[in-house]
Each structure stands twice: as C-alpha cells, then as structure tokens.
Amino acid sequence: MTMTELKHLYHQNLLAEAIIEPSSSDEGWIVEFRHKQGGFLMLTDIHGAECQYNDLDKASKSALAVGFTEVRIEAK
C-alpha cells in the first residue's frame, strides 16, 4: 500500500503497529504495518513495488510518517 493509503488507514484507527524488518531479497529493510483485523500491509510505491531502504533511519522515518510515534524493528 502507498504512503497515502496507509495514512488513511492510520487516521481511521485501523493499523496496530509499524514494523521494520530485513528484506528477504536484499541487504536492506522493508516497512510493514499490522492491521487491527489481522494481516500485514507492506509499504509500496505507486506501482505496487515494495519500498526497500538501505538505511534503517530512512526506513524508520517512512514508518513514522504514516503517523505512529514508535516503530518495532526486527533484527537481521
């Protein structure tokens, strides 16, 4: 889901938490959000490709931009 779509869900109080975890295909990081009704939503670009970050700080800033004040980081 795009940043805009995730912000909309956050403001509807439908997201439980933001999670940064290692990318399975690279050395980078991906950002996911846990939906309150179950399941995970990945941050994607407007074309539906997952957003990958080489820098943990940039990944955190993207997760926080949705609206959360805390982000859970999964270890590599």
Helix 3-11 × helix 56-65 angle, to 10°: 50
Total tally of structural domains belonging to the chain: 1
* 38, two tokens: 């179950």
End-to-end Cα spacing for the chain: 23
pLDDT in tens, 49-73: 999 999 999 999 999 999 999 999 9
**Domain limits at 44?**
3-68
31 domain-assigned: yes
The Cα–Cα gap between 23 and 8 comes to 25
* 55, two tokens: 């820098």
pLDDT in tens, 28-44: 999 999 999 999 999 99
73 domain-assigned: no
Contacts of 47 (CB under 8 A, 6+ apart): none
pTM equals 0.90
